[in-house]
Amino acid sequence: MSETLRPFPEAAHEALENAQLRANLRRATDTIREKRARVVRELPDWEALREAGRALKADVLANLERYLLAFEAAVTAAGGQVHWAADAAEANAIVLAIARAHAVSELVKVKSLTTDEIGLNEALEQGGVHAVETDLAELILQLDGDWSSHILVPAIHRNRTEIRDIFRATIADPSLSDDPAELAEAARRYLRERFLTARMAVSGANFGVAETGTVCVVESEGNGRMCTTLPDVLVTIMGIEKLIPSFADLEVFLQLLPRSATGERMNPYTSLWTGVTPGDGPQEFHVVLLDAGRTRVLADEVGRQALHCIRCSACLNVCPVYSRTGGHAYGSVYPGPIGAILTPQLLGIEHAPTLPFASSLCGACYEVCPVKIDIPSVLVHLRGEAVAAAGRPPERAAMRALEWAFAGPRRFRVAQALGRFAQRPFARGGVIGRLPPPLSAWTRSRDLRALAPETFRQWWERRP
């Protein structure tokens, strides 16, 4: 995540032409959305839990330095080693150096957005170390040379037949069917061998507990548990915002996360580890604490709430934009509403100026967010920054003209009369379907309601 992203409208246009993608997305997001709504309704204190999650995250961000130092001290006291990485290159170099120190040429990985964000697999490959993704969906994408389009269901854009073809071409024989049990078995056979021979694993972290130095990873398949227990060396890459103050606070997040993510009451696998335990699990443990733009996000009082995110993906599943375009249109590992506010801040608004506009501002994302991130407000804030950064003379001129017209009743009446006159060649049946440039940018994808033949004031004045 470093270069300037492709404009969202352009990428979205391409995605919208893929009917298969839209059908896959609709099926998957509809199912998860309904499951989530059902299990959330079961909890009478859901709103209190959300507020607790929000307050805990806000506390961590307000006192980040203190919590980070406490976490470092606790990890070190428990036999772990802590590394600090200012950016992706530093984090990747640390992991590669650890692999080289142990003469490792292949390692296993737990699904992790943070490692995708920093391009860890590619950096390791260049350094002669192959990283094997062990999450089923991540494995499918890795075998196909594809990348994730959903935070939680990375291969949401692939259906069974496509997966069968990918497996046939890579890890299974041509007799493999598209039966889900057979597909899972093929992946299991392939991965089991990797788990049993791997000497090093890399994970991300859902939460890091400042009080105890504990790392928590939640998952559904058990592959993560294999990675965090079988190899001799374990490296965890964790964004500095992933901390929570105390072990007891997990009680809040372990209720919020599974319900919001997969619509389950609890995760099938919740792994917790603290440093090194002699004779049990990895005997060497490293944590890489990653900044990579996060302190810049923290400096923005409105935008910093994006760092509260616990990556549940509930906002993706309710978003009318995401559910039609899918994740690839967002151009980063963080798609959907959270991607629209996090990516421009991590990269700098000049590198992703169209993402804050990839929203209808309907507010559905805010309503489902388990840590109450006010995504619409951050979107509006970032839109302001994007316009200011780009200059956009036509938009500024239009806003100035509107400001002038709204400043007095006479001006407003004149503007309305001029508007009604100007729309004559374009208005049909109360709707304007096509306008000349630069206004065509609006009508290219939606209609504009024409000005009414009579204003409310005119109607009021001519009443008997």
- Three-state DSSP at 464 gives coil
Q: Which pair of structure tokens corresponds to residue 255?
A: 């209720």
Count of residues near ligand SF4 by CB under 6 A: 14
315 binds ligand SF4 (CB under 6 A): yes
- Nearby residues of 380 by Cβ (< 8 Å), 6 or more positions away: 356, 361
Q: For residues 129 and 368, which CB has a smaller minimum distance to ligand SF4 in the complex?
A: 368
What string marks each residue from 25 to 64 as x (binds ligand SF4 by CB under 6 A) or -?
A: ----------------------------------------
Q: Which pair of structure tokens corresponds to residue 42?
A: 């079961």
- Among positions 369, 378, 386, 450, the unique one binding ligand SF4 when judged by CB under 6 A: 369
Task: Give dist(CA 59, CA 67) in Å, integer.
Answer: 10
Q: Which pair of structure tokens corresponds to residue 193?
A: 């061998």
Q: For residues 275 and 337, which CB has a smaller minimum distance to ligand SF4 in the complex?
A: 337
309 binds ligand SF4 (CB under 6 A): yes
Q: Which pair of structure tokens corresponds to residue 228?
A: 């965090």
State the DSSP string of 268-331: SEEEEEES-BTTBS-SEEEEEEE-TTHHHHHT-TTGGGGGG-----HHHHH-TTHHHH-SGGG-
311 binds ligand SF4 (CB under 6 A): yes
Instruction: Tell me which stretch binds ligand SF4 (CB under 6 A): 59-67, 74-82, 268-276, 305-313.
Output: 305-313
Q: For residues 228 and 260, which CB has a smaller minimum distance to ligand SF4 in the complex?
A: 260
Q: At what angle do helices 46-62 and 64-77 cross, to 10 degrees?
A: 90
Task: Give dist(CA 217, CA 135) in Å, integer.
Answer: 13
What string marks each residue from 422 to 441 as x (binds ligand SF4 by CB under 6 A) or -?
A: --------------------
137 binds ligand SF4 (CB under 6 A): no
**27 C-beta neighbours (distance < 10 Å), count:** 12
- Among positions 314, 333, 358, 451, the unique one binding ligand SF4 when judged by CB under 6 A: 314
Q: For residues 235 and 310, which CB has a smaller minimum distance to ligand SF4 in the complex?
A: 310
370 binds ligand SF4 (CB under 6 A): yes
For residue 200, the one-letter residue type is M
* Least distance from ligand SF4 to the Cβ atom of residue 315, Å: 3
* Least distance from ligand SF4 to the Cβ atom of residue 343, Å: 12
* CA atoms in the 13 A half-sphere facing the CB of 234: 29
371 binds ligand SF4 (CB under 6 A): yes
* Least distance from ligand SF4 to the Cβ atom of residue 12, Å: 19
Interface of this chain with ligand SF4, residues 323 to 342, rule: CB under 6 A: 338
- Among positions 236, 313, 325, 343, the unique one binding ligand SF4 when judged by CB under 6 A: 313
- Among positions 310, 319, 347, 379, the unique one binding ligand SF4 when judged by CB under 6 A: 310
Q: For residues 82 and 240, which CB has a smaller minimum distance to ligand SF4 in the complex?
A: 240
344 binds ligand SF4 (CB under 6 A): no
- Three-state DSSP at 448 gives strand
Q: For residues 164 and 311, which CB has a smaller minimum distance to ligand SF4 in the complex?
A: 311
Task: Give dist(CA 443, CA 57) in Å, integer.
Answer: 41
Task: Give dist(CA 141, CA 159) in Å, integer.
Answer: 12
290 binds ligand SF4 (CB under 6 A): no
Cβ 257 vs Cβ 310: under 8 Å: yes
438 prior amide bond cis, ω within 30: yes
Instruction: Tell me which stretch binds ligand SF4 (CB under 6 A): 3-11, 89-97, 120-128, 311-319.
Output: 311-319
Instruction: Tell me which stretch binds ligand SF4 (CB under 6 A): 13-21, 71-79, 289-297, 306-314.
Output: 306-314
Task: Give dist(CA 35, CA 335) in Å, integer.
Answer: 21
- Among positions 155, 183, 243, 312, the unique one binding ligand SF4 when judged by CB under 6 A: 312
319 binds ligand SF4 (CB under 6 A): no
* Least distance from ligand SF4 to the Cβ atom of residue 314, Å: 4
* Least distance from ligand SF4 to the Cβ atom of residue 193, Å: 34
Interface of this chain with ligand SF4, residues 404 to 423, rule: CB under 6 A: none
Cβ 231 vs Cβ 198: under 8 Å: yes
Q: For residues 349 and 379, which CB has a smaller minimum distance to ligand SF4 in the complex?
A: 379
SS3 content of the chain, % helix, strand, coil (to 5): 55, 10, 35
**48 C-beta neighbours (distance < 10 Å), count:** 11
Interface of this chain with ligand SF4, residues 253 to 282, rule: CB under 6 A: 260
Q: Which pair of structure tokens corresponds to residue 280?
A: 């049990």
State the DSSP string of 389-413: HH--HHHHHHHHHHHHHHT-HHHHH
Residues making contact with ligand SF4 (CB under 6 A): 260, 309-315, 338, 368-371, 373
